[in-house]
Structure 1
């Protein structure tokens, strides 16, 4: 999308009945949901097929991607008011999780929710890696119709980064990322209110959707003329 680095993925609706176009290991995710719930790392297609068929989290479908071993997560917050601004970049600490993922317990069971999870903030990154994360975040802010504040997540390995997903409110306030530049929660909330007050709702017309315009044109020649 828009020249952004991202991993290939396959959407599965029902049975996994074809070969996957990338090598194992795989990461299997529920089509809907979040917070790392139901995500599995598997070594082969057969195991992925069983999980897609039997997991309660995959009843509405699944998404399969290549699993990037020895990688880490990076996140950055984006706010759009009064102009686009980017927070510091964090590297969440996966700690002792045996799943190989930044999982639910590490995210939310530390006592203060995601804001209390272990992290390196700001993350220690090479100048090139930080520049690529910020470039991608600026592109996302331009091409996606999002407002207010959101968190953009990346996967990183040896300086190479891939855009993973965007988390909008209420999925992620990401206020804890605003340490450099520093933005207080009060400023964040006030900015969100100001942006909402200034927002001009877009109007859409359904005129002609009942076929009136097509019928009145008479023929193809009339439509083109």
Structure 2
């Protein structure tokens, strides 16, 4: 069977800022440089690297929110550029700084809206909301308006939304970083185990090396390109060296 996520020589360069106050000598910024990898069904792959390594850019391209400058990517056997609408229906994405929730609706109302958007059968919507909110410790949030939720509470709702339509591919970008370390690790460990057991492909970005070691089947170390790939013990020396470097801005 073909992989659920397939990237081939992906590149992304952000153009020079055009607004009047931008620094005139600021050059275009390259976030991805020829990134190639695969993720198969039931596999949990971690994407690690310091701020500015291109993790967010890569996940946004795979989720259909950004266009690559060069190269190709396929998700659930669909081209992320030519078949963007069909591709996005197969993806569950919980990205950093997600603003997709309506603040004056309750969490439950938001989830119902997205369930309808993704074609979840009406008779299954409430059961799925209850099941997932229980898994993600979010049931107490369902009747509250989103504008009253903390950043960490919103993250739980975003994760629930990402899983409602039982996607073939799950993309996570530091979405639990607003939770305390114990809760983040507990939720993501339970979540990834459950999703992978259903046969979905999971690609998640994380700065928590202990968490990556505990839950990932394979690790991609990204510095605008795949600097190293393999089981965590194989890439640990490279990972520790990279994280010891000076942080950069997130890409």
Length-normalised TM-score, structure 1? 0.29
- Larger of the two Rg values belongs to structure: 1
Structure number having the greater helix percentage: 2
Higher relative contact order, structure no. (Cα contacts within 8 Å, ≥ 6 residues apart)? 2
Q: Tell me the TM-score normalised to structure 2 length.
A: 0.27
